[in-house]
Amino acid sequence: MSVYFVRTATARDMAAVSRLLAETWQATYGAIHDPERVSAITGSSYSEEALRARLALPDSEFLVADDGTRLGGMAFARAASDDRTLLVLHQLYVRPDVQGQGIGTDLFSEIAGSFPQATRIRVEVEEANARALDFYIALGFARVGASDGGLGLAAVVLERPLGAFDA
Q: What is the pLDDT of residues 80-134, one digit of tens each?
A: 988 989 999 999 999 999 999 999 999 999 999 999 999 999 999 988 889 999 9
| pTM (predicted TM-score) | 0.90
Query: Over the chain, what is the mean pLDDT?
Result: 89
| Residue-range domains of the chain with CATH | 5-119 (3.40.630.30)
- Report d(CA 29, CA 19) in Å as an integer: 15
Helix %, strand %, coil % of the chain (to 5): 40, 30, 30
